[in-house]
Amino acid sequence: MKKHLYILFLLSAFLPAYGQSRQNIEQKIEAVLSKMTVREKVGQLNQLDGRGIHGTIEQLKELVRRGEVGSLMNITDPKIVNQLQEAACKESHTKIPLIFTRDVVHGFKTMLPIPLGQAATFDPDLVKEGARITAVEATEHGIRWSFAPMIDISRDARWGRIAESFGEDTYLTGQMAVAVVKGFQGEDLANPQSMAACLKHFVGYGAAEGGRDYNSTYIPERQLRQVYLPPFKQGIEAGAASIMVSFNDNNGIPSTGNKYLLRNILRKEWGFDGVTLSDWGSVTEMIRHGFAEDRKQAAEIAMNAGLDVEMSSKSYIQNLEKLIAEGKVQETALDDAVRNILRLKYRLGLFERPYTDIHKPKETYSAKHLAVAKKLAEESVVLLKNENKTLPLSANIKSILITGPLADAPHDQLGTWTMDGEPGKTQTPAKAIANLYGNKVKVHVVPGLTYSRDKNQSTFDEVLRMARSVDAIVAFVGEEAILTGEAHSLAALNLQGAQSELIKQLSATGKPLVTVVLAGRPLTIGKEVEQSDAVLYAWHPGTMGGPAIADILFGKAIPAGKLPVTFPKEVGQIPIYYNHTNTGRPARGNEKSLDEIPLNAQQSVLGHSSYYLDIGSKPLYPFGYGLSYTSFEYADLKIANTRLKKNDTLSVSVVIKNTGQYTGTEIAQLYITDQVGSVTRPVKELKGFERVALNAGEIKTVHFNLPVSELAFWNSVMEKTVEPGKFKVMVGTNSENGSEATFEVL
Ligand code: BGC
């Protein structure tokens, strides 16, 4: 016994500053639970909005006093947060603190690039830093639970929410999920500057049919486990405190009522002991899905499926007591759900420190935070084209024209899910270029179009007159923030309004034309790329997008971003993603184009391969693509041991040389192909990447160590295993180009 206590003492001595031992927390939970009425228990599962939708602050206080609400969304005035907290901690029977929640998705006030842009950095350390400063800003406003990271695998650019995602790849998304969880939650969730993460949306939401938001998905179990679930599992292993279910029904079962997902996979297989949360109204939306008859049955289905907290739709608070009395829901199920939310409150240290310190000096918009936001924006920019070394703008360029609707659009460059970011604090490219480089070049700003959908060409003459008089043109086109995000799907992905016409006419002036695209998704910009000398894809880059882009244009920063998603040539190619399976008749690559098809030809004359007659089989840009101002050469790929056992580690090295004139960073990507399997395997899969910084002329050997266990997949009998056989490894600059070698797993 004494020894036992001593070990406990030792363990607690090593706990983080605010932490409490797990055992302690469990005991406290039981003590609190034993004093709660059924109604108070249900109250803990009720999450309401604080913006007036569910009553005034005074009315909410009353609900809090009665113990009928457990968490509150969207209140960001720390004084009001504290008042409500006081009602909970001092005036309610249970004295259980509230949690204040919000969608803090890519920045709180200091807005970072949209997550899709952050994914393009391939820099989880920096993404983690971004999440950390975000938590610092949000928590000083009272928010301790964010509904992020969104880790839906997104292979469809029509879907507006692709902006919120980390793109199409399971591995990259997993890395980013872990980075955000660690950044938000810090070393210790109980630190008042830490914020609980919420992995969402569980699961498959990004596969909505046709890219139409909220739509049904049909993801078979193997694909679910292989492609969609791993980032969630990794996020949980990194300590994610909560999970939000998705709106979609997969194969007929809405996630909110999916027992198999919530109980079997999440709890039993993965041992998750955090909170599961509905999406906004998703419990009662099961009625419109045709999966529940009424609100009462919706509550019954969700609770029995294992959904802990109900966001906004109040069917639990209205029905759970009755359902328990009728024996349709067991009180033990309710107790388990309450334990989960209490556990989160203990982990957040809210019982000890429920209030937000309003006297502490604020770090929001600090120089440090702005610097992190700028670095992220800089690293997120992808150079798609750079003919004749148009970029960086040379010292010979004495005057430039800044044009296009996104050049000075402080609201739009913040992107979707900008609840607290302020356009007044945004530094736009037009302003930043003038401020930072106005002493080197004469900067003329003529927008031409006032917003991305603008069709009014009445100022084009003025733009073109100016274009002809300057040494170079930088055109900022793309899409407004409102065209991206939730419920904002698009069927066409070309530039909106008269933007294409603007690019065409600018190109016709013959002046060097740099096109910078600010957008929330891949756009089908093949034509505009052809008409431009250089193209930068800058996503919606956030508060510091302006200085970041300015520095890239003038060569103070060298672009290194890589595409986290395949860019289609045409919408008709979607879904298009690099890690597809091969089919029995893959594209050969030399198929005839539409113009080459002979007249009156026999049906079989074109051969039988998988491609589009009009645009072939290739995307506009492959996953992982991105250039630099300098150039890199890969050579000498070596595998230390080409015959490996299942518990070995594959050790690969490659030599990378900076063959250009600038110091730059290359993101070297490692892909694996499992050549034969008991089920068909993807043509390649990303399994690692390294950011490699190289001075001009410098050579480095880059090493990758990949445990063979990472090659496991869900085989023909749904076991996750590594199958012996031949594999290919490729290390390269994008998913289509690299050096290859083979190895064998015995
Ligand atoms: C979205 C969630 C979000 C929630 C709360 C829903 O419409 O799907 O991602 O967290 O609203 O704002």
| Tens digits of residue pLDDT in 376-393 | 999 999 999 999 999 999
- The rounded radius of gyration (Å) of the Cα atoms in the chain is 27
| Range of weakest confidence among 4-13, 331-340, 625-634 | 4-13
Cis, peptide link before residue 559, omega less than 30° from 0: no
Q: Please check whether residue 731 is in contact with residue 669, taking contact to mean a CB–CB distance below 8 angstroms.
A: yes
Question: Does 251 have pLDDT greater than 60?
Answer: yes
Rounded to whole angstroms, the Cα distance separating 560 from 684 reads 23
Q: Which residues contact 609 (CB under 8 A, 6 or more apart)?
A: 585, 586, 587, 588, 591, 617
Q: Which pLDDT does position 19 carry in this prediction?
A: 64
The residue whose CA is least distant from atom 10 of ligand 1 is: 147
Domains 36-347 and 367-553 fall in the same CATH topology: no
Cα separation, 163 vs 23, whole angstroms? 40
Could you tell me the distance, in angstroms and rounded to a whole number, from the CA of residue 268 to the centre of ligand 1?
26
- For ligand 1, whether the C-beta of 103 sits within 6 Å is yes
- 280 CB less than 6 Å from ligand 1? yes
Q: Evaluate: CB of 147 within 6 angstroms of ligand 1.
A: yes
Return the number of other C-beta atoms located less than 10 Å from residue 2's C-beta. Answer: 6
Give the residue whose CA is nearest to atom 12 of ligand 1: 103
Nearest residue (CA) to ligand 1, atom 8: 279
Query: Rounded to whole angstroms, how far apart are CA atoms 561 and 626?
Result: 6
Which atom of ligand 1 is least distant from the CA of 201? 9
* pLDDT score at 244: 99
| Tens-place pLDDT, residues 689-708 | 999 999 999 999 999 999 99
CB 97 within 8 A of CB 71: no
Q: Of the residues 49, 51, 72, 103, which should be mutated to test ligand 1's pocket, given the most ligand atoms within 8 Å of the CB?
A: 103
Ligand 1 centroid from CA 311, angstroms: 9
> What is the Å distance from ligand 1's center to 284 Cα?
15
Catalytic residue among 279, 408, 412, 533: 279
285 lines ligand 1 (CB under 6 A): no
The predicted pLDDT at position 21 comes to: 82
Q: Whose CA is nearest to atom 11 of ligand 1?
A: 280
Instruction: Please state the pTM of the whole predicted model.
Output: 0.97
CATH topology of domain 36-347: TIM Barrel (3.20.20)
Percent of the chain with pLDDT over 90: 97
Site to probe by mutation for ligand 1, drawn from 106, 244, 279 as the one with most ligand atoms within 8 Å of Cβ, is 279
Quick one: fold of 632-745? Immunoglobulin-like (2.60.40)
- CA angle 577/214/286 to nearest 5° reads 140
Residues with Cβ < 8 Å from 3, sequence gap 6 or more?
A: none
The atom number, within ligand 1, closest to the CA of 74 reads: 12
d(CA 701, CA 259): 49
Q: How far does the centroid of ligand 1 lie from the alpha carbon of residue 624, in Å?
A: 29
Domain boundaries, the chain: 36-347, 367-553, 632-745
> How far is residue 429's CA from residue 405's CA, in Å, rounded to a whole number?
11
Is 279 known to be catalytic? yes
Average pLDDT, integer, range 3-9: 45
Domain spanning 367-553: which CATH class is it, in words?
A: alpha beta
Average pLDDT of the chain? 97
Phi and psi at residue 150, in whole multiples of 5°? -85, 120
Check pocket membership of 145 for ligand 1, CB cut-off 6 A: no
